[in-house]
Amino acid sequence: MNQVFADGGPVHPVRLPVPGEKHANDEPVPTELHTGISLRDYFAGLAMQGYLASFDPHGEPVEYATKIAEDAYALADAMLKVRESQ
């Protein structure tokens, strides 16, 4: 996995201004803080979406939904591992 971000890092990072900090030209000073959903969460969401598109979990116990989520994150971890190896 990514050495800086074990979860793959943010999918849609943004640079937020440092509150109250301004450059000499009165522009805000950007921070290095990145926020947003992680690549791992994004991959897991896609995996779960694909799985649920072919299966109707209606009426299944909550434990089954937990298993689906666990499997989705296992797939996400596998995708990150393959991504890092290339």
Tokens coding 29: 């000073």
Q: Indicate if the pLDDT at residue 2 is higher than 50.
A: no
Phi and psi angles of residue 29, each rounded to the nearest 5 degrees, phi first: -85, 120
Phi and psi angles of residue 33, each rounded to the nearest 5 degrees, phi first: -65, 125
Domain ranges across the chain: 17-85
Confidence grade of residue 55 (pLDDT, cut at 50, 70, 90):
confident
Task: Look over the chain and give the mean of its residue pLDDT values, rounded to a whole number.
Answer: 81
CA angle 36, 41, 44 (to 5 degrees): 155
Q: Which residue has the tokens 């440092």?
A: 18
Total Cβ atoms within 10 A of residue 75: 17
**pLDDT tens track for 61-84:** 778 888 889 999 999 999 999 988
Confidence grade of residue 45 (pLDDT, cut at 50, 70, 90):
very high
3-state secondary structure at position 29:
strand
The confidence score (pLDDT) of residue 72 equals 95
Q: Indicate if the pLDDT at residue 28 is higher than 50.
A: yes
Averaged pLDDT, 13-27: 77
The confidence score (pLDDT) of residue 1 equals 43
